[in-house]
């Protein structure tokens, strides 16, 4: 597997009146070409900020203070704004969680795709239009010609998301970041959208970074998973391994908090909430919520160690148990 | 049956937004009349020379100061010029000034407001403080000052009114821009690598249009009022060119001596025009209210 995207120790801070919020703290993440990687975590764990950091679209008062974001062999943090603009939309594109509000309400959806193609694929009017219609059809939109002429408010939520996906993949990007693409859609539509993402991703060869809080979604389509908690990536593993042998107490907690019908066990919510990221204490950020917490956990940040090939965890308790 | 047929067809017939707007405008008789008046005024302005047999500026001493009659429907002034002809010709200059001033103010104000609102920071500070400075002057006094300083030809009158109207649009668009720049489609436009200028003018500005249409319509009325007022005190359009405000001023000298038609009819023309713009503007505001959209 050749790495397409390599995040190393990416740290994002937001300077607020109350102090510095460490939204993302030393996140490292690897996405291989054509791979589907899930980024899982609770609300406020820094998943979306990580996504925006990859596109370098963190706006003040936020800023990327450290780390490297290597995409296709070059560090995006060193690229000029002009180069970034060329990369956005053509090399890396993004699908948002609320498709209805992410499409411009006053421009027909077909034209929104055409505009993107004119900017990035250098197509002329007719070519852009043909390609836009072809993408809409690929995204499973019936009667693409008629739909292309309509405005977002005339389409259903699921259809808007199909349009977003068509647009995101129109310029054949190498990486698609999907930020909670199924939130707000009903379950059957959500399943269709995920299928579509996987199929189109496979067909176009685009890798997908899927951001979600829904472990069911992860189990459905991802190859690998990274678990994020309070701005830190605490565990990453292949999807089967993670579901079978979760190592980090937080990951185990997440898995236990999913309701299941096929097995007889009680759902256990994780105690506490994501800690405040405003000047967080040193050490493991999960420690205050963790049943396995030891004194050492609050002293310094647990290092990320590999417990198996392709499976790494940042937890002192796990590390201790292995010795 | 007809409703049944349209629903049972495979395709639901959707009204275009424009058709829906028209349908709702039709229910409001008063503004429909006002809209009709504006269209009539426009037609009048365009067709002015063909509407009456008289020359608006040529004196005719034999028929001076005649009261309204079949020959001169609205009477004649001290030089024997036909009032109706002059009022019709005056609509050209009044509407031209209003349109020109609005177009100028709109284009300047929209660009300033859009850039200030989207960029924020010191750009915003700089632009908005300059706008505040303009607004600190009473707008009519400012317009008077400008025409007095630059000389009162038509272009300067247009420019003077435009300058006093720029703040209206700049502030309006800035506010709208502050709202839409935080929208997700703005973020989406950024993620696909658009340049800021493109985002502002191609993606965000179209979302700010409705309130601007309303404001521009209302401001047209104000502009007519201002040019008439400027001309009334001699700082606007100069005689012998016919202009409603100037004609009212001339007529005002004859109130005591009894030639009532000289000030009444141009005054009525101003009133009807301004009222029509205001009525249409108010109705547009109701129709374009976001809470009513999609009904």
CATH of the domain at A198: 3.40.50.300
pLDDT of residue A184: 75
**3-state secondary structure (DSSP) of residue A212:** strand
Mean pLDDT of A174-180: 89
pLDDT higher at A262 or B5: A262
Are B104 and B154 spatial neighbours (Cβ–Cβ below 8 Å)? no
If asked whether residues A119 and A69 sit together in one domain, one would say: no
Closest-CA residue of A relative to B195 is: A85
Q: Is the pLDDT of residue B5 over 50?
A: no
- The count of domains in chain A is 2
B183/A contact by beta carbon, under 8 A: yes
CA distance B280 to B291: 19
Provide ipTM, 2 decimals.
0.78
If asked whether residues A55 and A201 sit together in one domain, one would say: yes
Task: Fill in the DSSP letter of residue A278.
Answer: B
pLDDT higher at B124 or B27: B124
Q: What is the pLDDT of residues A250-301, one digit of tens each?
A: 888 888 877 766 666 666 777 777 777 777 777 888 877 887 777 778 778 8
CA distance B187 to chain A (A): 8
Verify whether the Cβ–Cβ distance B193 to A87 is below 8 Å: yes
Helices (H), chain A: 47-54, 81-87, 99-102, 109-120, 125-138, 144-148, 157-170, 187-204, 215-221, 239-244, 249-256, 295-299, 316-322
Give the closest residue to A71 by CA, choosing from A57, A84, A81, A58.
A84
Mutate to test the interface with A, among B191, B201, B213 (most CBs of A within 10 A): B191
Closest CB from B192, B203, B294 relative to A89: B192
User: How far out from the chain centre does Cα B181 lie?
Assistant: 28
CB contact set of B249 (below 8 Å; sequence gap of 6+): B231, B232, B233, B234
Q: Which residue has the tokens 């409001």?
A: B28
Q: Is residue A96 part of a domain?
A: no
CB contact set of B227 (below 8 Å; sequence gap of 6+): B93, B94, B97, B98, B101, B157, B161, B236, B237, B243, B245
pLDDT of residue A265: 63
If asked whether residues A199 and A107 sit together in one domain, one would say: no
CA distance B110 to B67: 48
Mean pLDDT of A138-147: 86
- CB-CB neighbors (< 8 A) of B188 in chain A: 94, 96, 102-104, 164
The per-residue pLDDT of chain A, averaged, comes to 84
A88/B contact by beta carbon, under 8 A: yes
CATH number for the region B98-292 comes to: 1.10.3720.10
Verify whether the Cβ–Cβ distance B192 to A154 is below 8 Å: no
| Angle in degrees, CA A87, A92, A93, rounded to 5 | 115
Task: Fill in the DSSP letter of residue A135.
Answer: H
Domain's final residue, options A150, A172, A194 = A172
Verify whether the Cβ–Cβ distance B193 to A101 is below 8 Å: no
> What is the pairing mode between strands A175-179 and A207-212?
parallel
Are A165 and A137 spatial neighbours (Cβ–Cβ below 8 Å)? no
Quote the crossing angle between the two packed helices B209-232 and B139-150, to the nearest 10°.
60
**Residue B291: which pLDDT band, with cuts at 50, 70 and 90?**
low
pLDDT of residue B8: 41
CA distance B4 to chain A (A): 22
CA distance A222 to chain B (A): 23
If asked whether residues A317 and A272 sit together in one domain, one would say: yes
If asked whether residues A256 and A202 sit together in one domain, one would say: yes
- Full domain range(s) for residue A115: 101-172
CB contact set of B85 (below 8 Å; sequence gap of 6+): B51, B52, B54, B55, B56
If asked whether residues A182 and A54 sit together in one domain, one would say: yes
Pair of tokens at residue A163:
């349009």
A172/B contact by beta carbon, under 8 A: no
Verify whether the Cβ–Cβ distance A101 to B184 is below 8 Å: yes
CA distance A284 to A299: 8
Q: Is residue A134 part of a domain?
A: yes
């Amino acid at each position: 597997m050749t790495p397409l995207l390599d995040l190393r120790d990416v740290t994002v801070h937001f300077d607020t009146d109350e102090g510095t919020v460490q939204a993302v703290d030393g996140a490292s993440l690897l996405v291989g070409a054509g791979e589907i990687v899930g980024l899982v975590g609770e609300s406020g764990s820094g998943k979306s900020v990580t996504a925006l950091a990859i596109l370098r679209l963190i706006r003040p008062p936020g800023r990327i203070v450290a780390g490297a974001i290597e995409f296709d062999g070059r560090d995006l943090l060193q690229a000029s704004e002009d180069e970034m603009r060329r990369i956005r939309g053509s090399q890396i594109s993004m699908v948002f969680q609320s498709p209805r509000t992410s499409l411009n309400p006053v421009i027909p959806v077909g034209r929104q795709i055409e505009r993107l193609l004119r900017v990035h694929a250098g197509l002329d009017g007719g070519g852009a239009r043909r390609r836009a219609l072809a993408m809409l059809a690929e995204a499973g939109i019936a009667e693409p010609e008629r739909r292309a002429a309509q405005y977002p408010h005339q389409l259903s939520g699921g259809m808007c998301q199909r349009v977003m996906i068509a647009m995101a993949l129109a310029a054949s990007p190498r990486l698609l970041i999907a930020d909670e693409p199924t939130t707000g859609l009903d379950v059957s539509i959500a399943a269709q959208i995920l299928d579509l993402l996987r199929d189109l991703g496979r067909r176009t060869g685009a890798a997908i970074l899927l951001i979600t809080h829904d472990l069911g979604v992860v189990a459905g389509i991802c190859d690998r998973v990274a678990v994020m908690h309070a701005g830190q990536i605490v565990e990453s593993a292949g999807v089967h391994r993670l579901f079978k042998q979760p190592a980090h107490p937080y990951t185990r907690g997440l898995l236990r908090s999913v309701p299941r019908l096929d097995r007889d066990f009680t759902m256990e919510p994780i105690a506490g909430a994501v800690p405040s990221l405003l000047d967080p204490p040193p050490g493991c950020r999960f420690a205050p919520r963790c049943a396995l917490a030891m004194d050492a956990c609050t002293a310094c940040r647990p290092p990320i160690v590999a417990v198996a090939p392709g499976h790494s965890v940042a937890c002192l308790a796990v590390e201790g148990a292995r010795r | 049956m007809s409703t049944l047929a349209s629903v049972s067809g495979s395709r639901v017939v959707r009204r275009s937004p424009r058709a829906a707007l028209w349908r709702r405008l039709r229910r409001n008789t008063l503004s429909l009349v006002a809209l009709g008046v504006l269209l009539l005024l426009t037609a009048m302005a365009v067709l002015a020379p063909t509407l009456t047999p008289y020359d608006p500026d040529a004196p005719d001493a034999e028929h001076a100061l005649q009261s309204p009659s079949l020959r001169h429907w609205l009477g004649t002034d001290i030089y024997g010029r036909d009032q109706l002809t002059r009022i019709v010709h005056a609509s050209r200059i009044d509407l031209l000034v209003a349109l020109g001033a609005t177009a100028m103010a709109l284009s300047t104000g929209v660009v300033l407001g859009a850039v200030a609102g989207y960029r924020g920071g010191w750009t915003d500070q700089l632009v908005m403080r300059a706008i505040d400075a303009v607004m600190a002057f009473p707008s009519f006094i400012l317009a008077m000052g400008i025409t007095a300083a630059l000389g009162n030809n038509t272009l300067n009158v247009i420019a003077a009114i435009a300058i006093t109207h720029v703040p209206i649009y700049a502030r309006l668009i800035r506010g709208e821009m502050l709202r839409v720049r935080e929208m997700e489609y703005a973020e989406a436009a950024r993620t696909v690598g658009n340049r800021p200028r493109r985002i502002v003018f191609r993606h965000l500005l179209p979302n700010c249009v409705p309130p601007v249409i309303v404001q521009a319509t209302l401001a047209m009325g104000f502009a007519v009022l201002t040019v008439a007022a400027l001309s009334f005190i001699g700082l606007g359009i100069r005689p012998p060119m016919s202009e409603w405000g100037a004609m009212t001023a001339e007529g005002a000298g004859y109130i005591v001596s009894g030639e009532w038609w000289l000030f009444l009819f141009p005054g009525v023309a101003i009133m009807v025009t301004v009222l029509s713009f205001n009525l249409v503007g108010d109705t547009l505001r109701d129709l374009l209210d976001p809470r009513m959209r999609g009904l």
